[in-house]
Amino acid sequence: MTEPAENRTRLKLEGATAKVELDGALGIVAKVLVDGNRAAPKRGGWAIPTHKGDERLAVKGLMPGFQSFIWRGKVVHKLGGHVGLPEKITLFSPALLVILIWWTVPIALALFFMGVPIVKNPQMPRVLRILLPLINTVAVFFAVIAVVTMLR
């Protein structure tokens, strides 16, 4: 719970001569803007102009929507830094579908990616951010069971 929950966030980068912002910080994929223009990523980072030339703003992390932005070896912003551990755990509830019924992998992936913006939404009450991914998973589970029963 370290970062403010805003969709467009200005990054305070030491030594950067340009204004650097993240757009879409509450979604799955965030864009880096340098002086209002979208910067093109190269090799896991973005070239940011400084007094000494261009330096690299790196991104680390595997979980979509929850990566960390690294500047000169320090974390300057964590996407989803305001999201607590219970929300992140329930985000993986669609994995239960895959364990129970192996061919639900595409459905589980869709549920996971639909859950990221829900979990990161600061305007939604925390209880709802925790319960909604679970409710969606249970609803899909019963829908899959109903379809399988009708096909037999």
Mean pLDDT of 17-26: 93
In contact, 103 and 143? CB cutoff 8 Å: no
97-140 residue pLDDT tens: 999 888 999 999 999 999 999 999 999 999 999 999 999 999 99
- Report percent pLDDT > 90 for the chain: 83
pLDDT, residue 1, reads 39
Q: How many CB atoms lie within 10 A of CB 85?
A: 8
52-101 residue pLDDT tens: 999 999 999 999 899 999 999 999 999 999 999 999 999 999 999 999 88
Output phi, psi for 16, to 5 deg.
-75, 135
User: How big is the chain, counted in residues?
Assistant: 152
Instruction: Report CA 6 to chain centroid distance, whole Å.
Output: 13
At residue 2 the predicted structure's pLDDT band, cuts being 50, 70 and 90, is very low
pLDDT, residue 120, reads 94
Q: Which of 28, 60, 59 is nearest to 41 (CA)?
A: 59
